[in-house]
Structure 1
Amino acid sequence: MDGTVVDTEPYWMAAETRLVESFGGTWTHEDALQLVGSGLIDSAIILQNAGVRMEAEAIVAHLTDEVQNLLRTEGVPFRPGARELLLDLKQAGITTALVTMSLRRMALSVVDLIDFPAFDLVVAGDDVDNPKPHPEPYLQAAALLDIDITEAIVIEDSPTGVRAGIASGAVTLGVPHIVPLDDLGAHELWPTLDGRTAHDLVDLLDRHSATTGATR
């Protein structure tokens, strides 16, 4: 979600900075990059190590509240082409799942702001035992959609997410945003989703699914 569908990473980084500074610490852009695509508790532990004297669950809840408030006041900044691609997938009858390490309430607040039913289901960070880069989130989504994971495409913007997609057995498409995705093993890298359609994703699956299935 964050960085692939919507450009909320700056919101998260701003919330993290304010939280660390409230405890007298410093939080740089490089520090924030460590958290991109990471699991909720893993991120909270990094913030604790930066001086935030709060329980991990409280950190997660606080940051989620902060980002949800920014979404309400500043709006939902969609990544280029993301909304249009989701609409084309819906019109083509292709099922979709939002797989994010954000809390479910955070994910649903973003989904509710999309002006059409963009996703058939949501798998969030508090729905799984093992966060990305573990494949569980994507395997759970495939099971709930009742599809073989090798017939799915994972679209990711973070190294953690790309690793999760590859480990799941899905065809994995990297669309880099804040951090590079080179040399991680993604089946393809696209610079943007802008101008891409459901046909492009079907073509991607056709070109790579046989190879993916053979290596599992």
Structure 2
Amino acid sequence: MNAPRLSAVLWDMDGTLVDTEPYWMAAETPLIESFGGTWSHEQALGLVGLGLEDSARILQGTGVRMSTDAIIDHLTEDVMRQLSATGVPFRPGARELLASLREAGVKTGLVTMSMRRMAQTVVDLIDFDAFDVVVAGDDATRPKPFPDPYLQACEALGVTPDEVVAIEDSPNGLRSAVASGASVIGVPLMVSLTGAGAHTLWDSLEGRTAADVAEFHAAHRARVHTPNPAEETAR
């Protein structure tokens, strides 16, 4: 059986495409403190890659007396304000790789647990036509680490997961992408990805091109599609 060719690359947003995790932390801390609570850096790291509803419930546990929706709206508006003031804080090499994929004719999608208005703010600040589809937290039938967001993006693009590479920076995101059946690249930022299931780990996206992504995809799918000799003998 021939291994499928690369048709699309799906990007996580916060921490993968853009380094916005510090913006979320900067929004969380004063909100929690305004209700008399405390918030450590380690606690903030625990929210990396979580869906916003889950994050909001954790903040409620620290004493934030607001509804889940109100917390999500507050944090989202705060991060959007910071983005409007500073522009898009791309991770090293991310913009260049995204442009390389577009130039190569590879479909691209953004798969994020941030709200759609937040994702659209980031997309609108990119100075070229960056994505064919956006699946955001308020679009997903179930959040990461469930595979739903990635499967929804595949369906919207008209591709199958085995034609897709996903790029992620968090364990929850990796679990979601792997469970969808995509070939997955982990690019760590704030938390370790060891043992989280990535098919390969890249230290950085800097210097990477569409050809590098296609080479990884071809190698991974070839391994997946290579028959196990023991299984063949058993038949």
Give the TM interval when normalised to the shorter protein: over 0.9
Runs of at least 5 residues in structure 2 that lack an aligned partner in the other structure? 1-12, 228-235
Which residue number in structure 2 is paired with residue 14 of structure 1?
26
Asked if 2 retains the 8 angstrom alpha-carbon contact of 1:153 and 1:171, the reply is yes
The answer to whether 1:81 aligns with 2:93 is: yes
The answer to whether 1:93 aligns with 2:91 is: no
Which residue number in structure 1 is paired with residue 164 of structure 2?
152
Which residue number in structure 2 is paired with residue 119 of structure 1?
131
The one-letter code of the counterpart of 1:125 is G
Which residue number in structure 1 is paired with residue 14 of structure 2?
2
Question: In structure 1, what is the Cα distance between the partners aligned to 2:226 and 2:147?
Answer: 18
The answer to whether 1:56 aligns with 2:68 is: yes
Indicate the SS of the match to 1:132.
coil
The one-letter code of the counterpart of 2:149 is P
| Structure 1 residues 207 and 136: CA distance shift in structure 2, 3 A | same
Q: Residue 34 of structure 1: CA displacement?
A: 1.1
Question: How many residues end up aligned between the 2 structures?
Answer: 215
The answer to whether 1:189 aligns with 2:189 is: no
Q: Residue 212 of structure 1: CA displacement?
A: 4.0
The one-letter code of the counterpart of 1:104 is R
Whose relative contact order is higher, 1 or 2, with alpha carbons under 8 Å and at least 6 apart?
2
Bigger radius of gyration: 2
Question: In structure 1, what is the Cα distance between the partners aligned to 2:198 and 2:90?
Answer: 23
Superposed CA offset, 1:49-108 (max 9, x none): 011000001100000000000011122211000000000000000000000000000000
Q: Residue 32 of structure 1: CA displacement?
A: 0.5
Identity rate, percent: 61
Question: In structure 2, what is the Cα distance between the partners aligned to 1:178 and 1:213?
Answer: 33
| Structure 1 residues 29 and 148: CA distance shift in structure 2, 3 A | same
User: What TM-score do the two structures reach when normalised by structure 1?
Assistant: 0.97
Indicate the SS of the match to 2:222.
helix
The answer to whether 1:36 aligns with 2:84 is: no
Asked if 1 retains the 8 angstrom alpha-carbon contact of 2:170 and 2:193, the reply is yes
Question: In structure 2, what is the Cα distance between the partners aligned to 1:154 and 1:100?
Answer: 12
Q: Residue 214 of structure 1: CA displacement?
A: 7.2
1:136 to 148, 156, 159: 148
Question: In structure 1, what is the Cα distance between the partners aligned to 2:88 and 2:224?
Answer: 35
Question: In structure 2, what is the Cα distance between the partners aligned to 1:61 and 1:141?
Answer: 24
Superposed CA RMSD in Å reads 1.2
